């Protein structure tokens, strides 16, 4: 994966001065849909059955593979349908996966694609537009702000390679 491929694939939308930051979040997505997403994602944090949780996540539009274990993760409530998780992945507790960012003068959104057999350590943060390759391992407390190569072991803030197979 060359340096160009590591950049995040995101869409940027310029905001007018009266629509700055979170002030006009209702224009980004319908409030009732965001509320429904929030309630369902919050409920899933308390359900111990992985398969049942995965059915709920799929109902929200997320693409979840087989045998995925999600341990109390905070998914994006605005655009959960932009999240794709491959087969046999494990996502640690309190991990945050975002598909949007509100900045002072712009709004960004982008898909997050997590490959097969990926392990995301607890309390990691994955930003919009990131792709994590198959068999990658992300250390706990990491900030994933660029795409991760398949088979890599990354960690830190921002995440940098620790070891590659």
Task: Give 25's contacts (C-beta < 8 A, 6+ positions apart).
Answer: 34, 78, 102
User: Given 55, 67, 100, 163, which residue is catalytic?
Assistant: 100
Question: Catalytic residue at 100?
Answer: yes
Sheet containing 100-102: order of strands:
11-14, 106-109, 100-102
Specify the residue for token string 């209702």. 26
Token digits of residue 128: 């919009």
Specify the residue for token string 């995440």. 159
CA distance 19 to 34: 18
Task: Give 112's contacts (C-beta < 8 A, 6+ positions apart).
Answer: 82, 83, 84, 97, 98, 99, 126, 128, 129, 130, 131
Q: Which residues are designated catalytic?
A: 100
């Amino acid at each position: 994966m060359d340096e160009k491929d590591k950049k995040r694939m995101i869409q940027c939308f310029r905001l007018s001065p009266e629509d700055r930051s979170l002030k006009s979040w209702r224009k980004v997505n319908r409030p009732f849909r965001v509320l429904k997403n929030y309630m369902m994602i919050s409920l899933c944090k308390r359900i111990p059955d992985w398969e049942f949780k995965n059915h709920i996540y799929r109902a929200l539009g997320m693409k979840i593979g087989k045998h995925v274990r999600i341990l109390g993760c905070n998914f994006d409530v605005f655009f959960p349908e932009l999240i794709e998780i491959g087969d046999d992945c494990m996502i640690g507790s309190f991990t945050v996966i975002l598909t949007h960012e509100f900045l002072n003068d712009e709004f960004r959104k982008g898909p997050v694609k997590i490959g097969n057999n990926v392990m995301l350590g607890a309390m990691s943060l994955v930003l919009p537009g990131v792709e994590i390759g198959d068999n990658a391992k992300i250390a706990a407390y990491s900030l994933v702000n660029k795409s991760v190569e398949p088979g890599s072991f990354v960690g830190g803030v921002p995440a940098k390679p620790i070891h590659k197979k």
